[in-house]
Structure 1
Amino acid sequence: MRALTSRGRSFLASGIAALLMAFLLGENDLFRIGVLVTALPLLAAMVVARTRYRLSCARRLDPPRAEVGGEATVTLRLENVTRLPTGLLLIEDTVPYALGVRPRFVLDRVEPRGVREIDYRVRSDLRGRYTIGPLSIRIADPFGLVELTRSFTISDTLVVTPHVAALPHVRLSGEWTGGGDSRTRSVAAAGDDDVAPREYRQGDDLRRVHWRSTARYGELMVRREEQQWQSRGALLLDTRRHAHRGEGPRSSFEVAVSAAASIGVHLAHEGLGLRLVTDQGAEHLTDSGLSYSLLDTLAVVRHSPARSLEMGISALRSGGGDGLIVAVLGAMDADEARELARLRHSGITGVAVLLDVSTWEGRDRAAEDNHQAVQTVLAGYGWRIVRLPAGTSIASVWQDAANRGRYALGPAGGAA
């Protein structure tokens, strides 16, 4: 009975009613009609239930990562691996509500060993990781009296990443040039006496043979390969709920996430080994030079209930080795700014991207004064300030990160 459609149930009810009326009225012709109408959905259910279709399904996402507001194409590939043709197939893929309505398709017939490919598009205005699938197929009889649903188990994940803006090149410090290439340090450049050689291995270039060590150890020794090293930096993202204003894709929090993604991708492409820290502590990134792991992490970052940046500051302090710290910050007070500012010392460049959250909810004189006080504190410790109000792209203000003395304090303690 579960496999019967509304039409099938109507046929069955009509047939039973005809049989009862034929029995009461003694009408043989009505009885024959009742038998036919009752048997038709039952026979259809038996035929559909005994159908032994074997279908294989594959799904491809292009691209597997899409920016907020961008589209991705989902391609379904169905193959009939039996020697029998299929009947009518009703296909429905499982798609989260954020990606749109569930796509539905009808395949009239798939020949033996036949293949069908179906494309549809998905789009989301919200960041996240979305599971697409599993695919379900409803097998129906030609009269539409019976439907059976069979589902595949495979599913795929679409990652919707924050919007990434292309940023202009900015020289952030003399310690880190931002040129894009990891610097190369050759051990051999230290001189013959300081070289740490190793034994010869099959395939080593004979031009790298270190003859003095070879004579000393009595076996062929070669200079070690050049060692690559990479500048390091840290990106701090303020995710505290109370530090942001607004709701939805235009909220200050989403602007902060997009700014962090843009800065992180920009620095990674210029050769900076980057680690991500939030007010909850350090985030694990599977790669330090590329941006895929960073974008995947930022795709699922959410508000935190934390009230302070203490854990994030502690993670920055314990990490060590950073030549650059970029902090994307929401609302904060002067005391919090002072704790963060103390992380910057000689040899470290600090860039603070300050979201002017008061511009998301109308002008507030107290909030503006606090925002100015935070700028003054950070500038007093040598941080470079990039102000980001509502409606402004990070790309249009990123050049301010090069202005080393723009908000520096004068001798009297006021902003210069």
Structure 2
Amino acid sequence: MREALRGLTTRGRSFLAAAAAATVSAFVLGERDLLRVAVLLAALPLLAAMYVGRSRYKLACTRSLDPGRTPVGTSARVILRLQNLSRLPTGTLLLEDRLPYALGSRPRVVLERLGAHQASSVAYTVRADVRGRYAIGPLVIRLTDPFGLCELERSFPSVDKLTVIPQVVALPAVRLAGEYNGTGESRARSVAVHGEDDAATREYRRGDDLRRVHWRSTARTGELMVRREEQPWESRATVVLDTRLYAHRGEGPTASFEWAVSAAASIAVHLRQNGYKLRLVTGSGVDVDAVEAGGEGIILDTLADVALTQSGDITTLVEQVRRRSDGGLVIGLFGALTVAEAEVLSGLRGNGATCIGFPIDSSTWESMNETDRAEADKAHAAAALALVRSGWRSVPVTHGEALPSLWPATARGSQGFAWRAAMAETVAGGVR
């Protein structure tokens, strides 16, 4: 009852105040009828508090998200299903789901009555323009009387997570430089080294199918030999994302870093769909692999959380990539680079790796006067040229450019790449 009295609404407290005023007036004026009015005014909120406080509803709630992972700028549907597990019907219920500010205002739904063992579903939509993981819930239920004099809150502890991933754009199909680099052992390579008899044989192991026994090799070696299972040549790719705070400009969804994150997501999905074994490395210490079917989901979930970091440099990023590097294709998305930093990136050229870089001119994400703009353009062109001389394919990026239009420049023998390299050398002027 004490909790119910604390739940009196402004209307209920006004009734009690009116009752107190009527009581004082009745004694001062000697009006017994006014005292009866005071008793009625006080009884109404007290009875309402007793009614709400003694309500013992058994309610169950489930929440589902459709979909649970949504790209930036799209909507997701939240479905709430409320079931009355008790034998008594409920009164008026006000439902409110707790949401973070980025998903919009909190939805409020009124259920007039929920019968015994009856269930009802309500739905609402949310939309996020900033990637991340957002907690939805807990659901708060407000119990109230028919006159709105008392209101109590009950909440469910369950919280669901909505993952807002970066925007993924479709990329045109091109033949990438280094697309056949990777690891694996194919029958054709073994034949070239060992000859037909030993092309794909190994020692017999317990459990091997006897139909795979290679009798010619067995007779020659004196040991039971079986045919080795063919292992296809695997294409591997590493996507490198620069997360240095000072290398990016802009704020919110239109910042240069958000362009880089969206590009990393688009490239990762494109490569996975083309059969690449994928690895994602960021300057903030993230290092994840996507080798199984549907592995791009791991990459997208990781990119939903990635953020800029004040610590870290290009040298540390190179060391992190090389720690588990096995060659293949390396695609880097870098913020503003200096010539020295571009030269450090040559360290990723080991193990026969083919490197394609997207140096982002983050200075174009902010306004500058003509003199500063000329200096910034020259510095960016010099860094792009240094990246080329470090053995990278360099595809410079400026504000307003779309990744699908830049992607063809990564193709083998692309004229777009040669044109961009020539432009970079021209703008860089005397920088050599």
| Partner residue in 1 for 2:117 | 113
Q: Say yes or no: does 1:397 pair with 2:406.
A: yes
| Partner residue in 2 for 1:196 | 202
**2:316, 2:255 → 1: CA distance?**
24
| Partner residue in 2 for 1:77 | 81
Q: Which amino acid aligns with 2:201?
A: V
Q: Say yes or no: does 1:55 pair with 2:41.
A: no
Q: Which amino acid aligns with 2:235?
A: S
Q: Which amino acid aligns with 1:233?
A: A
Unaligned runs of 5+ in 2: none
**2:17, 2:298 → 1: CA distance?**
59
Give the one of 97, 100, 103 matched to 1:96: 100
| Partner residue in 1 for 2:47 | 43
Tell me by how many angstroms 1:300 deviates.
Answer: 1.3
**2:49, 2:216 → 1: CA distance?**
88
| Partner residue in 2 for 1:369 | 378
| Partner residue in 2 for 1:141 | 145
Query: For the aligned residues, what is the CA RMSD?
Result: 3.1
Unaligned runs of 5+ in 1: none
Q: Say yes or no: does 1:357 pair with 2:362.
A: yes
TM-score, normalised with respect to structure 1: 0.89
Tell me by how many angstroms 1:171 deviates.
Answer: 1.6
Give the one of 305, 320, 329 matched to 1:324: 329
Q: Identity, % of aligned pairs?
A: 50
**1:114, 1:221 → 2: CA distance?**
68
Tell me by how many angstroms 1:226 deviates.
Answer: 4.5
**2:28, 2:197 → 1: CA distance?**
114
5 Å-filtered alignment, 1:16-415, equals 16-174=20-178, 176=180, 185=186, 193=198, 195-199=201-205, 201=207, 207-208=211-212, 225-227=229-231, 230-285=234-289, 290-306=295-311, 308-345=313-350, 347-361=352-366, 362=368, 364-404=373-413, 406=418, 407=421
- Cα gap change, 1:336 to 1:106, in 2 (>3 Å): same
Give the one of 1, 7, 13 matched to 2:11: 7
- Cα gap change, 1:223 to 1:46, in 2 (>3 Å): farther
Structure 2 contact 197–217 (Cα < 8 Å) conserved: no
Structure 1 contact 281–311 (Cα < 8 Å) conserved: no
Report the 3-state secondary structure (helix = DSSP H, G, I; strand = E; otherwise coil) of the residue aligned with 1:388.
Answer: coil
Range with greater deviation from structure 2 (57-66 or 350-359): 350-359
Tell me by how many angstroms 1:196 deviates.
Answer: 2.6
Tell me by how many angstroms 1:414 deviates.
Answer: 9.0
**2:410, 2:430 → 1: CA distance?**
20
1:301-350 CA distances to partner (integer Å, 9 max, x unpaired)?
11111362121111112222031111101111000000002321462111
1:101-136 CA distances to partner (integer Å, 9 max, x unpaired)?
000000000111111111100001111110000000
1:138-192 CA distances to partner (integer Å, 9 max, x unpaired)?
00011110111000000100011111111112222355279xxx97846998766
Tell me by how many angstroms 1:198 deviates.
Answer: 4.6
- Cα gap change, 1:50 to 1:394, in 2 (>3 Å): same
- Cα gap change, 1:29 to 1:278, in 2 (>3 Å): same
Tell me by how many angstroms 1:230 deviates.
Answer: 3.1
**Count of residues in Structure 1 that have an aligned counterpart in Structure 2:** 409
Tell me by how many angstroms 1:205 deviates.
Answer: 6.3
- Cα gap change, 1:50 to 1:213, in 2 (>3 Å): farther
1:216-263 CA distances to partner (integer Å, 9 max, x unpaired)?
9xx999656554663222111111111111112111111111111111
Structure 1 contact 200–220 (Cα < 8 Å) conserved: no
Report the 3-state secondary structure (helix = DSSP H, G, I; strand = E; otherwise coil) of the residue aligned with 2:6.
Answer: coil
Q: Which amino acid aligns with 1:261?
A: A
- Cα gap change, 1:224 to 1:7, in 2 (>3 Å): farther
TM-score, normalised with respect to structure 2: 0.86
- Cα gap change, 1:61 to 1:229, in 2 (>3 Å): farther
**1:80, 1:138 → 2: CA distance?**
15
Structure 2 contact 290–296 (Cα < 8 Å) conserved: no
1:84-116 CA distances to partner (integer Å, 9 max, x unpaired)?
111000000001100000000000001111111
